[in-house]
Amino acid sequence: MIGVLGTIIVGLLSRQAHVGISLVDKSLGDVVYAIMIGFLVALARPGLRPVELGIVAFFVSTFIELFQLTGIPAKLPRIFHFVLGTAFAWHDVICYAIGAAAMTWIARRLGSSPRSPSRRRRR
């Protein structure tokens, strides 16, 4: 839960406080969005391995991005724009790939995904 809250705070700050480097100012929030999705997936499915978390985070983020092509998110109340966005961009998909890779790295470092019983070492 701390990971979800932390990524939400970083994501919101990335949209408000700019560092002056346009690539970072534009992309950091999108990268962090995929990481947040990864943390949510880890909460829902704690048994997933780090690489699985990264893959699911990428596909969920990309699915949401593709959903923008329907025009539905743009018609929803403004509060949903923060979660779903309004306009598709390939740049965002690239950021999600970076965020998903970062989520895999974070999950490995945290050891947040327990091994499945069949993969545990035998003593």
User: How many distinct structural domains can be found in the chain?
Assistant: 1
Q: What is the pLDDT of residues 6-47, one digit of tens each?
A: 777 766 667 777 777 777 777 888 899 999 999 999 999 999
Classify residue 118: in a domain, yes or no. no
Residue 120 lies in a domain: no
Does 36 map to a domain? yes
Handedness of CA 12, 13, 14, 18 (dihedral sign): positive
Helix (H, G, I), strand (E, B) or coil at 32: helix
Q: Is the pLDDT of residue 114 over 50?
A: no
How far is the C-alpha of 46 from the C-alpha of 113, rounded, in Å? 6
Indicate the pTM of the whole model.
Answer: 0.78
Query: Is residue 121 domain-resident?
Result: no
Write down the pLDDT at residue 93.
96
pLDDT of 120 = 44
User: Helix (H, G, I), strand (E, B), or coil: what is residue 46?
Assistant: coil
Q: What percent of the chain lies above the pLDDT cut of 70?
A: 85
Query: Which pLDDT band holds residue 113 (cuts at 50, 70, 90)?
Result: very low
- The amino acid sitting at 58 is F
Range of the domain at 40: 2-113
**With 50 as the cut, is the pLDDT of residue 90 above it?**
yes
